[in-house]
Amino acid sequence: MSAMLRIIVLLPLLVFFISPDKGMSQTSEGGQAIEVWPEFTVNYDPSKKVRLMFAIRNERNEDTPDKTVETTATVIYRLRPLVRNMLFADDEADNEKKYALSLAANWEYSRSFGKTLRNENRLMFDATPRYRIYGNILVENRLRLEFRFRDDGQRDYWFRDRVRAEKKFKIHNFRFAPFAYVEPMWTWQANAWNRNLLSAGTQIALVRNRARLDISYLRKNCDTCDFADANAIGVNLQLFFGKK
């Protein structure tokens, strides 16, 4: 019951943060905004190989300093690991992390709120191999190809290469998993690796196998943008349903 009460308390906070005019907090001494990027994600696994995912988030637009609300719908298909003992963990709550390779198709709709309203549709294809290395550290390398289409007729193509590592810990009944990743990005319009995303944080289990809170620090860098890089605290409440 106490775990469910924690979720009931967290949900109103998330709704507050995801409101379009609440998504940014204020500033560091250098005048650069310290932002809050909230996210709410629902994961449903109709089978152990398939995941349906829906997410809504509020963050900084990647092409302007404006706030943006994004919704993402994802279908993930997993391929079984070739060597079971290298990847499977008996106490692993997330089916996604039990597989050596995942393939995903994503559709994302983004709406920016600022001086100019902007809508963008994104079609994304992912391949994510995973490895478990010395010390039971899980390493994954998500390769993503994106096709971006704006309502003003402009388009762009992105390639993203995210390398992420995490390690799980358990102290009594408290389960958490610190993680860090780096994600360089190549964009067609710039014809260069002109962006990157750095992040470090932890995943906290709220309800075993069913709810998790991800808290992280993120920094978005853009070499070709005419506005400041973004620093943010990311908060993602994830719910998990379906087969385990």
Give tens-digit pLDDT for 130-165. 888 888 899 999 999 999 998 888 899 999 999 999
- Domain topology for 2-242: Lipocalin (2.40.128)
- Pick the residue with more confidence: 10 or 224? 224
Distance CA 80, CA 194 (A): 35
Q: What is the pLDDT of residue 41?
A: 95
Show me where the domains of the chain are located.
2-242
What lies within 8 Å, CB to CB, of 186 at 6+ separation is: 158, 159, 160, 192, 193, 194
Lowest mean pLDDT among 97-106, 143-152, 193-202: 97-106
Burial class for 62, CB neighbours closer than 10 Å (0-12, 13-18, 19+): buried
Cut 0.75: pTM above it: yes
In tens, the pLDDT along 198-228 reads 999 999 998 877 899 999 999 999 998 888 8
Residue pair 151/122 in contact by the 8 Å Cβ criterion: no
Whether 129 has a pLDDT exceeding 60, the answer reads yes
Whether 168 has a pLDDT exceeding 80, the answer reads yes
Using CA of residue 188, residue 190, residue 193, residue 196, what is the dihedral sign? negative
Q: How many residues does the chain have?
A: 244
Angle at the Cα of 12 from the Cα atoms of 9 and 14, rounded to 5 degrees: 105
Residue pair 199/181 in contact by the 8 Å Cβ criterion: yes
